[in-house]
Structure 1
C-alpha cells in the first residue's frame, strides 16, 4: 500500500473508530513513516549521547535490495509479515491477509496502549497489518513465491503501465521481460510492479509454483480499512478482541469504497491529496476537517523537529541533545519500531516455527 492508504485511509479509519484528530494524526503519520524511515544506525549528539535507529524501509529501488539479512529485518516484520502456514520456512514466510500471526502482532500493540509509545506502536502495527492484504502471496525473503510471469491488469493502458513501473523504479523503460524482473527483484512484490498497492486494480499472474493468481484489490483494501477501524476501537477500549468490535459505519464504508475505486491517479501523492480534499469538504460521513500535510523528510518532518537534521546521511552531523528529544515523535516512533521488531521476530514468529533473525 502507498501513502494514500497508510496516511489518508488510516486517518479516516482512526477517526471513524473514535480517536481525536490529534491522536489519529499521530497514528496515521507513524503508519506512513514506516515507508520513509530509511536511516539506520546510531544518532550521535554533541554531548556524547547516542540513540539507536532501525530502518523500516530501503532507499529508492527498494525491491532490488538483495542484502538478505537486512531484507529479513526490514521487509519481513514491517511489510510482508509471514503467515506461518506450510511446512518449509519459505512457505511459512509467505504473507497472507489477516493471518493469525498478524492478529497476534495487533494484540501485542493493544496491550501497550498505556505506554508512552502506544500511539506510535499502533501506527507501526497498522502498517504491517493492512499490508497483509496488499502483499498477500509474496514474501519478505528471497523466494520462488515472489516470481511473477504473464502479469496482466485490466483497464491498464501501455502509458499507465509504464507510469506504474516508473514509480517503482524511477526509470522509464520501453520494454521489459517479466523473467528479467523476477530475477532482478527477488524480494517482495517487486516483479508485480505497483499493482498490489493500487486500491482499484484488477490483475492476475502466474506465480513461482505455476499457479494462476487473480487479484481484485478493491474489496481487499476496503476490508483492510474495516479491520483497521476495529483495531482502533479495541485500542480505545483496551480490549484485545479487536475482530469482534464494530467496523466502519455503513455510510463511511460505502463512501470509502467509492473513493478508493475512483481515485485512480498513478501518483500516490496526488491520490492522498484527493482523499484529503474529500475529508476537508465533508464528503466522508461524519468527517469535515483538514488533514495536515505529511512531511517525510526535511524541514517540518519528525526528524527535523526532534534534531534539526534535514537529510538521511547524518553521520557527520551532531545535534544538541535536549530533554525535548525524549518526548519527540521521532524518538517515540523509533522506540516503537524496536518494540515491534523485537516482539515480531523474537517472540511471535519463533513460536510459529519461523526463526528469521
Structure 2
C-alpha cells in the first residue's frame, strides 16, 4: 500500500473508530513513516550521546542488492509479515491477509497502549497489518514464491505495463523480460510492480509454483480499512479481541469503497491530496476536517523537528541532545520500531514455528 492508504485511509479509520484527531494523526504519520524511515545506524550527538535506529524500509530497488539477512529484518516484520502457514520455511514466510500471526501482532500493540510509545507502536503495527492484504502471496525473503510471470492488469496493455516499469526505474530497459525482472527483484512483490498497492487494480499472474493467481484489490483494501478501524477501537478500549469490535458504519464503508475505486491517479501523493480534499469538504460521513501535510524528510519532518538535520543521511552538524529529543515523535517512533521488530521476530514468529532472525 502507498501513502494514500497508510496516511489518509488509516487516519480516517482511526477517527471513525473514535480516536481524537491529534492521536489519529500520530498513528497515521507513524504508519506512513514506516515506508520512509530508510536511515539506519547510530545517531551521534555533539556531546557524545548516541541513539540507535533501525531502518523500516530500503530506498527504491535497494532491496535488489541488499543481503537476504538484512531483508529479513526489514521487509519481513514491517511489510511482508509471514503467516507461518505450511511446512517449509518458504511456505511459512509467505504473507497472508489477516493471518493469526498478524492478529497477534495487533494484540501485542494493544497490550502496549498505556506506554509512551503506544500510539507510535500502533501506527507501525497498522502498517504491517494492512499490508498483509496488499502483499499477500509474497514473502519478505528471497523466495521462489516471489516469482511473477505473465503479469497482466485489466485495461492495461503490454505497452502500458512496460511504460510503468520504465517510470519505476531508469535503470531497467523498456523490453525487459519477466524472468529477468524476477531475478533482479527477488524479495517481496518487486516483480509485480505497483499493482499490489493500487486500491482499484484487477490483475493476475503466474506465480513461482506455476499457479494462476487472480487479484482484485478493492474488496481487499476495504476489508483492511475495516479491520484497521476495529484494531483502533480495540486499542481505545483495551480489548485484545479487536476483531469482535464494531467496524466502520455502512455509510462510511460505501463512501470509502467508491473513493478507493475512483481515485486512480498514478501518483499516490496525488491520491492522498484527493482524499484530503474529500475529508475537508465533509465527504466522509461524520467527519469534516483537514489533515496536515505529511512531510517525510527535511524541514518539517519528524527527524528535523527532533534533531535539526535536514538530510536523510545525517549530513550536517551533529545535533545537540536535549530532553526535547526524548519526547519527540522521531525518538518515540524509532523505539516503537525496535519494540515491534523484537516482538515480531523473536517472540511471535518462533512460537508459530518460524525462525528467520
Pairwise same-fold verdict (TM > 0.5):
yes
Alignment of 1:281-292 (within 5 A): 281-292=281-292
Match in the other structure for 2:3: 3
Aligned-residue offset at 1:172: 6.7
* Aligned Cα root-mean-square deviation (Å): 1.3
Q: CA–CA distance in 1 between the matches of 2:185 and 2:326? A: 38
Q: CA–CA distance in 1 between the matches of 2:160 and 2:21? A: 35
Q: Is the contact between residue 93 and residue 141 of structure 2 (CA under 8 Å) also seen in structure 1? A: yes
Unaligned runs of 5+ in 2: none
Match in the other structure for 1:30: 30
- Is 1:59 the equivalent of 2:59? yes
Runs ≥4 residues deviating over 6 A: none
- Is 1:243 the equivalent of 2:243? yes
- Is 1:21 the equivalent of 2:34? no
Aligned-residue offset at 1:314: 1.5
Aligned-residue offset at 1:62: 4.1
Match in the other structure for 2:179: 179
Q: Is the contact between residue 65 and residue 71 of structure 1 (CA under 8 Å) also seen in structure 2? A: no
SS in 2 for 1:346: helix
Match in the other structure for 1:211: 211
More displaced stretch, 313-322 vs 153-162:
153-162
Q: CA–CA distance in 2 between the matches of 1:196 and 1:293? A: 25
Q: CA–CA distance in 1 between the matches of 2:71 and 2:127? A: 17
Q: Is the contact between residue 200 and residue 260 of structure 1 (CA under 8 Å) also seen in structure 2? A: yes
Match in the other structure for 1:299: 299
Provide TM-score, normalisation by structure 2: 0.98
SS in 1 for 2:86: coil
Match in the other structure for 1:121: 121
Aligned-residue offset at 1:167: 5.1
Alignment of 1:242-261 (within 5 A): 242-261=242-261
Provide TM-score, normalisation by structure 1: 0.98
Q: Deviations over 1:240-287 (max 9, x none)?
A: 000000111110100000000000111111011111111011111111
Q: Is the contact between residue 63 and residue 188 of structure 1 (CA under 8 Å) also seen in structure 2? A: no
Q: CA–CA distance in 1 between the matches of 2:188 and 2:301? A: 28
